[in-house]
A and B are shown apart, each in its own frame.
Chain A
Amino acid sequence: MSENKNPEVLLKVENLKKHFTPHMGLAASLGKARKVVKAVDGISFDIKKGEIFALIGESGSGKTTTGKLVMKLIEPTSGTMIFDGEDVTSIAKKQLEAYRRKVQMIFQDPYASMNPRFKIRDVLEEPLSIHRIEGDRARHDEMIVKALEEVKITPPEEFMTRFPHMLSGGQRQRVATARTLILNPKMLVADEPVSMIDLSTRAEILHMMKDVQRDLGLTYLYITHDLSTARYFADRIAVMYLGRIVEMGPADMIIDKPLHPYTKALIDAVPEPESGKVDVIKELPISGEIPSPANIPAGCRFHTRCPYATDECKTLPEPELEDIGGGHMHACRRWKEI
């Protein structure tokens, strides 16, 4: 699975870690050792060109932090990131600018991701002026119109003079997508792009994103907590728990034949809108909240909530990802028994 064997790999992440050290007063820091929050604790994955790669997990699993690391909005503690054959783990300002043109992000909250004082035109022109894209106002307008048409905002000229608050959530997310597309990126990081949008328009937005992906040959890193959209949308899925990937593989395999008890629990938790089943509250095999990333359990980090955990799980070192064929990987030592 290394990049040499597979030239199609666009982004290769290896053993990436992000540990936060919380700020402490002088007096407090004298007494005790600082608690390190291990938001991302050593993850590795590849994203192939033209693929939609979904990162799934509960809140606090580190999936958004991973997205920010990929976006280079925060610096990793350790590990490497190779994008398009180039090591981008720590790059200079000049290269970062070039990287930003290639990798763009769609944020979760379409209501907050645009400056309320900017008109749609200004929102879309900002990337052009940041990256000093040649062209006068008319040329920029052309590019903006094209980007808006790409995301099915019609008529674009009419929307350009509006403010974000005059748009619906779906329209805003389309505009946010247009903003990322205007620079012709290679990869988009979409951080729960539909979680704050009305259910009725979610599918449309995902359709639009998929159309755009097909038209422009984009690669997506799709971050979500919602398995149902991930199955529909993604080619491959990685499940994160407490800063680690616990299972990874083709979307259908993960959903249909989950191996890790955490993945199973996530799938069981999806409500099924079928007649007769609506009122049934499922009995979840796991309980409790995700532990604090500042205090990660020893052994397998899932053992505190795992119904199958044995003493072995608590004492032996954490299991690594294991490939069982077909690109399906998991990190559970009891997968055969359960």
Chain B
Amino acid sequence: MNLKDFLAGLSDFWSEFRRDKAGLIGLAILVVAILAIIFEPVIVPFKEVNSKWRDINYWEDNSSGAPPAWTNAFSSEKKAVTTSLDRPRKEEIEGDGVSIRRYEFDYSYRYDQPPLDVIFRAEGWGTFPILVSVERPDGQVIDLYQYVAEGLDGDDLRVTLANDSKSAAYQFLAVNASEADMANYDSYSVKPMVIMFSEASPSMATAPVALTGKYKFIVQTMVMSEDVRIDNAHFTVVGSVSGILGSDTGKRDLFSGLLAGLKWALLIGFVTSFISVLLGVLYGIISAYFGGAIDSTMNFIYELFVSMPVLPILIVISAVFKPSIWFIIAALVVFSWTGPVKTVRSMAMQIKEETYIEAARALGAGKWRIIFKHMLPLLIPYSFASMALSVPGAILYEASVSLLGLGDATITTWGQILHDALSSGAVLNGLWWWVVPPGFSIAIMGMSFAFIGSAMDKILHPKLRTR
């Protein structure tokens, strides 16, 4: 079969396939999923999600248990959205021997509820003083925090303004708010974020009004020697809503996690179904072709595997071996190759009786030639449909094992996100954005393959046609 015939066959197949609406929907979902995997490095908000999913430090600047940002659209009081400010304007003011370096970060604030925190972060080398201040839309500049970083060597520089700017905020409040109100406050109970993002007025302590507009966060440092270096300076505005799908109580961005899990879901589905269908089809053909005692023995082994309860065995295996994802895939293959066997066996029995098989034998063709050249090609269409139909099962089994906390701990899968949600009481605490998206993703992925598979089945297996 050359390329031209193959393409012609493919175009025939496509013209039939596109008449099946469900199949098209499934295909569209699959295409979107594959595009999402290809462009994952571009679209994922947290670039290192794959390696740092279980690293608490990586997520410490994110909001904890925050609903998705778009929930603002449904609430009367808009909450600040978690944002990263990482494109500062850099300025160097040269003096004699000493220069002042200045970073300016613009932040446009247009919410009713202030952020939970504003965090400055950078990597530093050497010893230098540092001053963090903010210029508000009303023109007031507050020096929020200053300290001297000493003897850094690529260490993290981290200023959390919600804690570190308490005294500055208290002073700002004391200047503006009424004295009666101030009596209730001290520099510990003050909320710097509320003060920073509210209009300066006598009633700002008791009835703060959000001051919207352009804020400028300014970081200044004095460079006194050659070895002072500051890299990767950026602010994170930690809002109480975050990202496309919110965050979990471990501060992890769920959209990133979901994207990271997508490729594993597809991998598990594809690899498991491909290998197991291939094995099952060969098993069925061999069993049918040889017949007799071989057929009976193979049937017996098949019955053994079919009657084994997959999930309990998988759970035990996973609990004992703490397996990697490849081990889980292998275990899934061991139990799911049985899927196509019976159908293939009956189809192969029919093909075996065809005259052209006998003709091939009369020509001297050996058994393997007959199996691989004459019988297998006829079963390939069925195999493809069968593969598509067995993908959802594989995805679900992995999710089930992961849900029980027995999955591969080095990767991120949807089942594991669900497991974390369950063990953190996400359902009880109403963190629906932690539970619904991964669950939905599993369902949709499974559904898309079921749609594709049944559409292929209808085309390639004309007896099932309802038309």
Contact = CB atoms under 8 A, between A and B. Distances in A.
Interface of A: 71, 73, 96-97, 100-101, 104-105, 107-109, 112-117, 126-127, 130-131, 176, 179, 183
A112 B356 contact: yes
15 contacts: A100-B362, A100-B363, A104-B362, A104-B363, A107-B358, A109-B355, A112-B354, A112-B356, A113-B355, A113-B356, A116-B356, A117-B1, A117-B378, A126-B365, A127-B364
B105 to A, nearest CB: 67
B374 interface: yes
A115 B356 contact: yes
Nearest to A109: B355
B361 interface: yes
A114 B356 CA distance: 5
A179 B361 CA distance: 13
B215 to A, nearest CB: 71
B439 interface: no
Given A115-B360, A117-B377, 14 more contacts: A96-B364, A97-B364, A100-B362, A101-B364, A105-B359, A108-B355, A113-B355, A114-B359, A117-B1, A126-B363, A126-B365, A130-B364, A130-B366, A183-B363
B369 interface: yes
A130 B369 contact: yes
A73 B363 contact: no
Given A112-B355, A115-B374, A73 B364 contact: no
Interface string B402-435: 0000000000000000000000000000000000
Interface string B342-372: 0000000000001110111111111001000
Nearest to B364: A100
Give the most central of B355, B366, B369, B378: most A CB within 10 Å. Answer: B355
A107 B361 CA distance: 12
B372 to A, nearest CB: 12
Contacts of A112: 354-356
Nearest to B362: A105
Nearest to B5: A119
Contacts of B373: 126
Contacts of B369: 130
Contacts of A104: 362-363
Interface residues of B, number: 18
Given A117-B378, A127-B363, A73 B356 contact: no
A117 B5 CA distance: 11
B289 to A, nearest CB: 15
Nearest to A129: B369
A108 B377 CA distance: 24
Give the most central of B360, B369, B377: most A CB within 10 Å. Answer: B360
Contacts of B377: 117
Contacts of A97: 364
A97 B364 CA distance: 6
Nearest to B357: A115
Contacts of B356: 112-116
A96 B367 CA distance: 14
Contact of A73 (B1, B354, B362, B374): B362
Interface string B67-102: 000000000000000000000000000000000000
Contacts of B365: 126, 130
B420 to A, nearest CB: 51
A97 B361 CA distance: 11
A183 B363 CA distance: 9
Contacts of A127: 363-364
A71 B362 contact: yes
B361 A73 contact: yes
B360 A126 contact: yes
A261 to B, nearest CB: 34
A234 B459 CA distance: 48
Contacts of A126: 360, 363, 365, 373
Nearest to A105: B362
Interface string B324-355: 00000000000000000000000000000011
Contacts of A115: 356, 360, 374
A115 B358 CA distance: 11
Contact of B355 (A71, A96, A107, A179): A107
A325 to B, nearest CB: 37
Contacts of B1: 117
B60 to A, nearest CB: 61
Interface in B110-139: none
Contacts of A100: 362-364
A98 to B, nearest CB: 9
A196 to B, nearest CB: 11
5 closest cross-chain pairs (CB), A and B: A100-B364, A112-B355, A105-B362, A113-B359, A113-B355
Nearest to B377: A117
Nearest to B363: A127
A96 B362 CA distance: 10
A104 to B, nearest CB: 7
Interface string B293-323: 0000000000000000000000000000000
Nearest to B359: A113
A117 B366 CA distance: 19
A73 B358 contact: yes
Interface string B140-155: 0000000000000000
Give the most central of B1, B359, B373: most A CB within 10 Å. Answer: B359
Interface string B269-283: 000000000000000
A307 to B, nearest CB: 37
Contacts of A179: 359, 363
Contacts of A176: 359
Contacts of A73: 358, 361-362
A245 to B, nearest CB: 23
B184 to A, nearest CB: 87
Contacts of A108: 355
Contacts of A101: 364
Interface in B248-274: none
A97 B363 CA distance: 9
Interface in B365-402: 365-366, 369, 373-374, 377-378
Contact of A107 (B359, B364, B374, B378): B359
A105 B357 CA distance: 13
A131 B363 CA distance: 9
A263 B359 CA distance: 31
A109 B359 CA distance: 11
Contacts of B366: 130
A131 B373 CA distance: 15
Contacts of B354: 112
Given A115-B374, A117-B378, A130 B363 contact: yes
A77 B377 CA distance: 35
A318 B1 CA distance: 57
